[in-house]
Copies of this chain bind each other. A is one copy, B any other.
Amino acid sequence: MSKLRPPQRRPITLTDIARGCGVSRATVSLVLRESPLVRDETRERVKAELRRQNYIYNRAAANLRRQTSSTIALVLNDLANPFFAEFASGVDDHLTQAGYVTLLGQSNESLERERRLTHSLLEHAPAALILSPVEAPEELALLEQLSSQLPVLLFNREPAEVTQRSWDLLQFDNYRGAYLATRHLLAQGHRQLAFYGGYRHQRPHRERLAGFTQALQEAGLSFDPRLCIEFQPRRTLASEHVQQLFAHGLQPTGAVCYNDIVALGLIGGLKSVGRQPGVDFALTGFDDIYEAGICTPALSTVQTRPRECGRQAAIMILERLANPGSDPACHVSPVEFTIRDSSPPPTESNHS
């Protein structure tokens, strides 16, 4: 068999071009950077030689010399999740347009992977990091370390309690999302509602809970803390905590769930306690992941427009690079509520 690939030839450098048209490397560099210092005739000769030799600029070398960077690192939980994929697509589109290249990484919800990954990405000297952090208590320490090394934009989640942020933050209008979801259920006539999933020490949880209680209050209802069921927002845990909804002799007829994953877990779990989701129990989600639209019953949920959010993230991080000294930014992305008719009115249950 013949070897088709040409021997991996040494890449063409500035020196080759300079030699090729009898000028110095400095002059070629000036031509590349469109400097007005070079005479027209010389510029054309150099440009012709660049084309002739099929020159490729070595931006890594240039970045090293100039102490600049043309890459931005993007670390997400899981690219196969359409929510993050759309976000990544928006980020990358905008960064490309601005002349940056995206360094990609997936943490798969593992703090250890996130740690290794960010470390490995930092070795490539990105100008900044866009990170959707893992939910773990130790996350905070990692974040503080990272944000001391380069500008960091946090997307979607902020771990634990922070007083003095040193990173930018892009999150959804959690308050309004939960408020809208709660109003939806209240409009169906529900009087006894739970807030299901997540931990109160997380900022998004607190904000969603605030929207929930506000809607209750406006409806003349008071918030019963026993109906705020806290657990890590995972699908299996959401199934397993279903009994707590009906503990203390309480009979909620619906739940505002922390997010879609939790709602989907709850849909599964309700059956085990003899409830039929969408028939005698109403619930809402948050995120509008694909599954929310296609599960049975379909899930009414809060829509987050991840792609636009990605563009926004890119805009924010470029802003930060242009303006390194300014105060940490916190952008709240708007949300909408999508009704999918999975929220039945309350049934005077035969469970009581």
Contact = CB atoms under 8 A, between A and B. Distances in A.
Interface of A: 1, 3-6, 8, 11, 54, 56-61, 63-64, 70-71, 74, 78-80, 82, 85-86, 88-90, 92-93, 96, 99, 101-106, 108, 117, 119-125, 145, 148-149, 151, 164-166, 290, 293-294, 307, 324-328
A120 to B, nearest CB: 7
A124 B101 contact: yes
A64 B327 CA distance: 36
9 contacts: A54-B145, A54-B148, A60-B64, A79-B85, A79-B86, A96-B105, A99-B120, A104-B104, A294-B294
Contacts of A57: 123
A335 B158 CA distance: 41
A165 B4 contact: yes
Contact of A3 (B56, B79, B327): B327
Given A60-B64, A324-B5, A106 B124 contact: no
A5 B124 CA distance: 22
Nearest to A74: B104
A165 B59 CA distance: 29
Contacts of A325: 3, 5
A293 B8 CA distance: 45
A148 B88 contact: no
Max chain B Cβ within 10 angstroms of own Cβ: one of A54, A96, A119: A96
A89 B96 contact: no
Nearest to A119: B56
Contact of A101 (B70, B88, B96, B121): B121
